[in-house]
Structure 1
Amino acid sequence: MTGKATSQAWSSLEEAAALAAPPPAGKRRALDWRVLLGFLLPVLIALVWEAAVRFGFVQGRLVPPPSRIIETLTNLAATGELWIHVWATLWRVSVGFFLGASAGIVFGAISGSSETARRLLDPTLQALRAIPSIAWVPLFILWLGIFEASKVALIAIGVFFPVYLGITGAILSVDRKLIEVGRVFRLSRAKMARRILLPAVLPEALISLRSGLGLGFMFVVAAEIMGASEGLGYLLVDGQQMGRPDHILAAIIAFAVLGKLADSLLVGVTKPLVRWQDTARGTL
């Protein structure tokens, strides 16, 4: 029995080492090609768009070619104006995401783990979720003024609801057999939460955080339109007022790049938390 146990232990160690080892060179090259594949569609659209303008199929005034948008972005970056707007937007989204996600996790955990709390909180929160984002703007301006507090509050509202729904749904969807196993082993509530509930809800919770981050970037546009003097949303409004579609599209592209980078950062930071999952992602 001792020899068998030792061989099983060595097998487990070898499997763990194989999982922890870096991927082979061939697989790394395949991953590199997958990353490059993600750029294929936007580059192809940009080339077709550029050719359509140059050959006169569409007007270059209302639909600027990518070359003009790149020139606008380069000029804005050279003068430092672009970085001012990017930093202002990124700061607002970061603070609003932190506040909204924190509140969503707390209320989602309370609502998901207690039926009484869920019956008390969920109807009100679901009603508030149905309110359009723009409807909060006059109230926040009246309460918090036109400066940063009202903008951050609006973003936090946008982040809160998907995180709350994701956390609540993840807790409610935990397999009942897992809870029964924890009770059989007489785990305390703290150990039950740490060893069973937390690993079970983490994948869906991380997806809800990504959804909340995406809505944070959507809500920051509404927040910056309502009276900001800095930010990519302000750059959008300024381009519309000045009749500069290149500025509008430059701001939209900056939003897309900034949102993608923020989402990739969130995925990269949280990926070690779900490394234990044995999913079909790598085989499809």
Structure 2
Amino acid sequence: MTLTVSAAPPTERRPFAVLAVLTDIAYGVSLPLVLLLAWESSSRFGWLPQQILPAPQVVWATLVDLWSDGSLADHTLQSLKRVAIGFATGALLGLLAGAALGLLPRVRAFVWPVFSAIAQVNMLAWLPLLVLFIGIDEELKYVSIAWATAIPVILATTRAITDVSPKLLELGRVLDFTPLQRVSSIVLPAALPSLFTGLREGLASAWQNMVIVELFASFEGLGYLMVWGRQLFQLEIVIAAMIVIAAIGLALNASLEYLERFVQPWKTEADREH
């Protein structure tokens, strides 16, 4: 006599899935709510002076004012433009360079030691040299953001390609695949998850370095808005800009995660089964 175990029908599993999603949302908002409550308590009971930590209501009113007069939208669009150009350039160059390093062992042996040393130096340390060669105009922002993007993308792409299972590559040889077929049918699908990890890290680095370079040399953008608020000693402007930077950073990361699920439908199906 054989026993068969049938999986629960989708209608029975759906309530548990909804409950899991609601639980994740509750966990996700709990810490921000606690921090907001602590911030409000500090303002109400005077734990910190208003000049150091303005009340949440003051920061919200500042956000509304900056949006109403159009300055917040102008600074945000300028920052997004810089990140879009810098990230697109850095990601493309990073993918090409990482592919060359991963697919060509001789190129990797020649370039990798120098590249590894360069990757250890923070982008902020390169800014004085870049200013000497490029100046402080828009080109500096684009080059800095592209550089910050390319480093993690190159690292992730190279490792993703070199970590492809040799058995899969041998299967391609047995099937008499051309080099292009091996790359498109074997290497790329196997390396895709790591490639998107590198792109997410590159996007996060691009967004963070956008703020740094705008703090360093800029007259518009969210980073400049923070500098302007600090110079006026209006920390509510600084905090408002920080909130906008954090919110956009989360939205950009979520967008890239959605694109990853769209490009890798098999991964989404596997996650649903588990």
- What letter is aligned with 1:167? T
Secondary structure of the structure 2 residue equivalent to 1:178: helix
Between 1:137-146 and 1:194-203, the stretch displaced more is: 137-146
1:173 paired residue number: 163
1:206 aligns with 2:186: no
What does residue range 111-190 of structure 1 map to in structure 2 within 5 Å?
111-190=101-180
- What letter is aligned with 2:208? M
What is the CA-CA distance between 1:280 and the residue it aligns to? 7.5
What is the CA-CA distance between 1:214 and the residue it aligns to? 0.6
1:9 paired residue number: none
Conserved? CA contact 2:144–2:213, under 8 Å: yes
Provide closer, same or farther for how the CA distance between residues 256 and 283 of structure 1 changes in structure 2, counting only shifts above 3 A.
farther
What does residue range 104-115 of structure 1 map to in structure 2 within 5 Å?
104-115=94-105
- What letter is aligned with 2:60? I
What is the CA-CA distance between 1:244 and the residue it aligns to? 1.3
- What letter is aligned with 1:117? V
Say what the alpha-carbon RMSD is for the aligned residues.
2.3
1:223 paired residue number: 213
TM score, norm. by length of structure 1: 0.86
Instruction: Provide the C-alpha distance between the structure 1 equivalents of 2:15 and 2:81, rounded to a whole number of angstroms.
Output: 39
Secondary structure of the structure 2 residue equivalent to 1:39: helix
1:6 paired residue number: none
What is the CA-CA distance between 1:24 and the residue it aligns to? 5.0
What is the CA-CA distance between 1:236 and the residue it aligns to? 1.2
Deviations 1:131-183 (A, max 9, x none): 23223222322322221111110011111110000000011111111111111
1:92 paired residue number: 82
Q: Which of 231, 238, 250 matches 2:228?
A: 238
What is the CA-CA distance between 1:72 and the residue it aligns to? 1.0
2:4 paired residue number: none
What is the CA-CA distance between 1:230 and the residue it aligns to? 0.7
Provide closer, same or farther for how the CA distance between residues 160 and 181 of structure 1 changes in structure 2, counting only shifts above 3 A.
same
Identity of aligned residues (%): 32
Instruction: Provide the C-alpha distance between the structure 1 equivalents of 2:87 and 2:226, rounded to a whole number of angstroms.
Output: 22
Secondary structure of the structure 2 residue equivalent to 1:49: helix
Instruction: Provide the C-alpha distance between the structure 1 equivalents of 2:28 and 2:67, rounded to a whole number of angstroms.
Output: 25
- Structure 1 gap ranges (5+): 1-17
- What letter is aligned with 2:33? V
What is the CA-CA distance between 1:36 and the residue it aligns to? 5.5
What does residue range 54-93 of structure 1 map to in structure 2 within 5 Å?
54-93=44-83
TM score, norm. by length of structure 2: 0.89
Conserved? CA contact 2:148–2:202, under 8 Å: yes
Secondary structure of the structure 1 residue equivalent to 2:266: coil
1:46 aligns with 2:36: yes
Secondary structure of the structure 1 residue equivalent to 2:42: helix
- Structure 2 gap ranges (5+): 1-8
Displacement over 6 Å in runs of 4+: none
What is the CA-CA distance between 1:40 and the residue it aligns to? 2.7
- What letter is aligned with 1:212? G
Instruction: Provide the C-alpha distance between the structure 2 equivalents of 1:258 and 1:162, rounded to a whole number of angstroms.
Output: 20
Between 1:57-66 and 1:191-200, the stretch displaced more is: 57-66
